[in-house]
Amino acid sequence: MLGHITHQGPLAHPELGGYPFRDTAQFGAAALMVISGYFVCQTIRRGGTGRWLWKKIARLLPSYVIAAVATYLVMRFAGAAFGGQSFGSGWFDTLFGPTTDGIVWKTTWYVPVGRDLLINLFMVQGWDPAFIWLDGSYWTLPVQLAVFTAAALLWAGTPWFRGTRQAGLLAWGLVVLPLFVRFVLIGADNPARWAYGAVFGLGLHRTHAFAAGIGIWLWARGRVSGRRLALLLAAVVCAQDLHVYPHGMALPTDPARLPSDLGFAAMLLLICAAAKGRDWSFLRPLAPAITWLAGISYCVYLLHQELGYVLARLLADAGVPGWVRLPIVLVAAVLAGWGLTTLVERPAHTWLTRPHRTTPAPEDLLPPAGNGPAPVSVGGPS
C-alpha cells in the first residue's frame, strides 16, 4: 500500500506528489504469491479437490466483481470531472459511452468505457497490451486463479506430482521454464501482441513466486534440506529481478530495482522464519489487530490503489498536504476493505459454499428391516 500510494501514484499522476517519503520497493505482490503457493500445498490435500477449488473461487470472485464495478464507476466520473468532460444524454451513454469529446486520456486520468468494464470483469487484461486495467492491482487475480486451477488438476489427475522429488522438480520447472520461454523462445524485446499475451496472460512472469511457496512448504515439513531451499530461493530472486526488469539486465539503472530485490529476498527469509521457526511470542499483544487486518487484507488490496488515487487527488485539490493525505488514504483503504469483506466477501463465500441440503424422501424416514431405530436423513453429501 505504501509503495502504491507514495511511489506508483505520483508516477501515474504527478500532482499526487508531496508525501513525506517515497517507498520504491516493489515486492508486495510477489510475497503474496509466495504465501499463496505455500498454502496451496497446505490445504489442497484436505477434502475433495473440486470443493477446494470452488472455495477459492467463491472467496475471490464476488468481491472482485463488486470492486471492479465500483472502481469503474469512480474512475469514469472522477476522470471526466478532472478533465472537465461530460457524457451524452441517456443512461447508457452516462454509464458506458464515451465522453462528448471522445477523448479518454485528456489528462493522466483515464475515462473508461463499457468495453473496459467487460475486459476487467472477464479478467483478460493481460492478453493484449491495448487493454486497460481499471486497477493496477488486479493483475494478480487471473494469475492466482490459473495457478489454483492448475494445482487442482495436477493434484486430482496426476498423483505422480505428490511425491517430494516430483514437487521439487515442479518448483524448479516453475522458475526455469518461464525464463526460457520469455527470454529464449519469445525474446524479451518481442513487440508482438501474442508474445505479450503468452507472458502476461498465462502469468509466466510470476510462477517463480509460487515455486518459492512450494519449496518453503517442503522445507518446513523436513522434506528438503536447507541447502536445496537456499538454491531454489536464490533462483527465485534472480527470476523476480529478470521478469520485473527485463531490459536492465546489465546494470541496476532503475532506482527501485535494488530495494525491490533486497526487499523480496528479506521477505522470503521472514516467510521461512514464520513457516518453521519458533512462535513469535513478542507479537502476541498485537495478535488481535494482525488477525483482523489479515481477515480483510484481500478486500483492502482490491480497493486501495486506484480508488486511493482518486481520494488523494480530491484531498490534494482541497489543499491537504502529503503528510496528512497519507494516513487518510491508508485509513480509508482499510475501512473500505473492511466494508467489502463484511458486506460481500464473507456472506458470498458462506452462501456459495454452504452444503446443499434436500428434504428427506419418505422412505428415508422409515426404520430399516432390522432392530433399532433408523437415523433420520438430513440431506445429501456436501
Structural domain range at position 267: 26-43+158-276
Task: Flag whether 58 is in a domain.
Answer: no
Listed ranges 48-52, 249-253, 348-352, 369-373; the one with the highest mean pLDDT: 348-352
pLDDT of residue 358: 52
Our count of domains for the chain comes to 1
The answer to whether the beta carbons of residues 209 and 236 sit under 8 Å apart is yes
Measured CA to CA in angstroms, residue 321 lies from 12, 107, 201, 269 at distances of 19, 22, 39, 36
Task: Flag whether 8 is in a domain.
Answer: no
Task: Flag whether 183 is in a domain.
Answer: yes
**Region 23-46 average pLDDT:** 90
Residues in the chain: 382
Q: Tell me the helix, strand and coil percentages in the chain, rounded to 5.
A: 70, 0, 30
Burial class (CB in 10 A: 0-12, 13-18, 19+), 91: exposed
pLDDT of residue 172: 96
pLDDT of residue 312: 97
Reported as a single tens digit per residue, the pLDDT across 176-229 is 999 999 999 998 888 888 999 999 999 999 999 999 999 999 999 999 999 999
Task: Flag whether 187 is in a domain.
Answer: yes
Task: Report the C-alpha gap between 226 and 215 in whole angstroms.
Answer: 10
The answer to whether the beta carbons of residues 356 and 379 sit under 8 Å apart is yes
Q: Which residue's C-alpha cell is 488523494?
A: 312
Output DSSP code: residue 362: G
The answer to whether the beta carbons of residues 216 and 34 sit under 8 Å apart is yes
CA–chain centroid gap for 259, Å, is 21
Task: Flag whether 5 is in a domain.
Answer: no
Task: Flag whether 30 is in a domain.
Answer: yes
pLDDT of residue 252: 57
- Give backbone dihedrals phi and psi of 146, rounded to 5 degrees, phi first: -65, -40
Looking at the predicted structure, is the pLDDT value of residue 162 above 80?
no
Who has greater pLDDT, 53 or 157?
A: 53
Reported as a single tens digit per residue, the pLDDT across 264-285 is 999 999 999 999 877 888 888 9
Task: Flag whether 354 is in a domain.
Answer: no
The mean pLDDT value of the chain amounts to 88
Burial class (CB in 10 A: 0-12, 13-18, 19+), 57: middle
β-pair partners for 87: 99
pLDDT of residue 253: 64
**Region 12-19 average pLDDT:** 93
Task: Flag whether 347 is in a domain.
Answer: no
Rg over alpha carbons for the chain, rounded to the nearest Å, is 24
Three-class secondary structure of residue 87 per DSSP: strand
Who has greater pLDDT, 299 or 167?
A: 299
Reported as a single tens digit per residue, the pLDDT across 123-147 is 999 999 999 999 999 999 999 999 9
The answer to whether the beta carbons of residues 59 and 352 sit under 8 Å apart is no
Q: Which amino acid is at 140?
A: T
Task: Report the C-alpha gap between 4 and 373 in whole angstroms.
Answer: 64
Burial class (CB in 10 A: 0-12, 13-18, 19+), 352: middle
**Region 357-379 average pLDDT:** 43
Q: Which amino acid is at 24?
A: T
Phi/psi region, residue 18 (left: phi>0; alpha: psi -120 to 50; beta: rest), is: left
